[in-house]
Homo-oligomer: A and B are copies of this chain.
Amino acid sequence: MPTPPVVEIMTIGDELLYGQVIDTNSAFMGQELGKLGLRVRQITSVSDFADEIVAALDLARERANVVLMTGGLGPTKDDLTKHVLARYFGAELVMHEPTLRHVEGIFARYNRPMLEVNRQQAMVPSNCTVLHNALGTAPGMWFEDRGTIFVSMPGVPFEMKGLMKDEVLPRLQQHFQTPPIEHVVVQTVGLGESYLAEKIADWESALPSNIKLAYLPSLGGVRLRLSGYADGQPDLRGRMEGLLPALRERIGEVIFAVGEVPLEQAVGQLLLERGLTVGTAESCTGGYVAYRLSSVPGSSRYFQGSVVAYSNDVKVKELGVQQTTLDQHGAVSEATVREMAEGLRQRLGVDVAIATSGIAGPDGGTPTKPVGTICIAYADKHQTVSRQFSFDRGRQLNVEYTSTAVLNLLRLSLPVA
C-alpha cells in the first residue's frame, strides 16, 4: 500500500464512455482532495456493467487507500452501482428509515407523488455507513473493507459536491490527518507557454525540490501552478508566496491575478478600486462579454449593462454608429467598433466601455475579411483604443478568445487613478 495516502476516483456510467457527458466531477474531487493533502493517483471511468465495475474495484484497491465512486445510483434500469457493491461486499440490501423519510419529504415538498423506484433508493447495503444526501434522493455509502475505504456517491454534480463537502471530505480529513498540498496559482494572459517558460527559466530552475511548477494553458492564457509539499519547515504557503516578486520581475505585465481568479473578476476588482462603471457593446460575442462580467458576484457595483447590436440596424439606432462608417468600413472594422464603444459609453453614461465586432464563423467571411477577423475597442473619457485580430479556432472558441482579448484590453487601458 503506497504512502502518503492516495485516492482513486472511479466514475461509473456508459454516458461518459460514449462521450455524451463531460466528466466535471473528477476535477472537483481532485481539487478538494488536494487541499487535504490526498493525492489522486488515477481516475478510472468504467461502464455500467457489473463485471467492469468489479474488475476496476479489484485493481483500484491495489493502487489506492481510498476509492471514490460516482454514478449509477439513480432510479432507472441502468443504475446498478448499489447492487454491485452489496454483492461485492457480501451484504443484503436493507431499508434505511432516515433516508426513506428524507426522500418522502422531498416529494412532499414538490407536491409530487413518490414512485416505488424512488422508495427503493432508500435501501442500502447492510454493512455500509450511510452518508446523508441532503440535495437528492440517493444516499451516499461508505465502506471500509480490508484496509481500503470505498465511497459511492451519485453522479449528479450538484449532489456529489454536497456529499463531498458535508460528509466525505470531513471523514477523510479525520481518518488521514495529512498535511495539505499547498497550491499557488498565478494567472497570466497574452503570452504563449513556451515564451513564458523561456522568460522564467532561471526562476524555475531555482525552485526548491519540494515545490513543483506546472504550466496549465487555458483559453487565451496560461496558469502557472506552484504545488508545495510539506517539508517539515513552517509556513510553506508563505514561502511559496515569497517566490512571487522574482516572478513578477520577469513577467509582471502578463500576470493579472494570483489564485483562482478569472480575468473578469480581476478586471472587476480594478474597476471597483478605481470607482469606475463599465458597459459593453457587442456584436459577434453576442452578450458573452456581459455574461462574463456579470458572472462575478457583486458585479452590479460596477457593471451597468450592455447593448448587443447583432444587426447593423441596432448598431445605428441603439449605439449611434454612423451609417457612413458602416458603408465605408463595414461592420467589422476598427472604425465601427470604436464608434460602438464611444456610443455605448455616452448612451448608458458609464465611465468605460468595451466593444466587439467580428466574424466568428463558420460563415460570413470574405477575401478581405476572412472568418476569424475580429475588432475590439475600449473607450473612456480620455481615449479610445482599438485592435484587430485574426482567430482561427472555430465559432465558439473565436468568441471565447475575443472576450478574453477585450477584457484584457480593458485591464491594460484603465486609467490608473
Using a CB–CB cutoff of 8 Å, the interface residues on chain A facing chain B are: 14-24, 26-34, 39-47, 52, 56, 59, 74-78, 112, 115, 117-118, 156, 158, 183, 185, 193-195, 197-198, 204, 214-218, 223, 225, 227, 280, 282, 285-291, 293-295, 297-300, 303-311, 313-314, 317-318, 347-349, 361-363, 393, 395-397, 399
Contact = CB atoms under 8 A, between A and B. Distances in A.
Contacts of A280: 287, 308
6 contacts: A17-B39, A20-B30, A78-B215, A294-B310, A304-B311, A307-B318
B295 A291 contact: no
Contact of A227 (B18, B288, B310, B393): B18
Contacts of A158: 393, 397
A395 B349 CA distance: 27
Contact of A42 (B33, B41, B44, B313): B44
Contacts of A44: 42-45
A95 B102 CA distance: 64
B363 A298 contact: yes
Contacts of A21: 27, 216, 218
A46 B118 CA distance: 36
B304 A306 contact: no
B43 A17 contact: yes
Given A74-B215, A297-B363, A23 B22 contact: yes
A23 B26 contact: yes
A19 B42 contact: no
Given A42-B46, A305-B309, A308-B306, A26 B16 contact: yes
A266 to B, nearest CB: 18
Could you tell me the dominant secondary structure of chain A's interface residues? mixed
Contact of A27 (B14, B20, B195, B218): B20
Contacts of A115: 194, 198
A349 B318 CA distance: 11
A305 B311 contact: yes
A295 B214 contact: no
Nearest to A204: B77
Contact of A310 (B40, B112, B223, B303): B303
A269 to B, nearest CB: 16
Nearest to A59: B59
Nearest to A300: B310
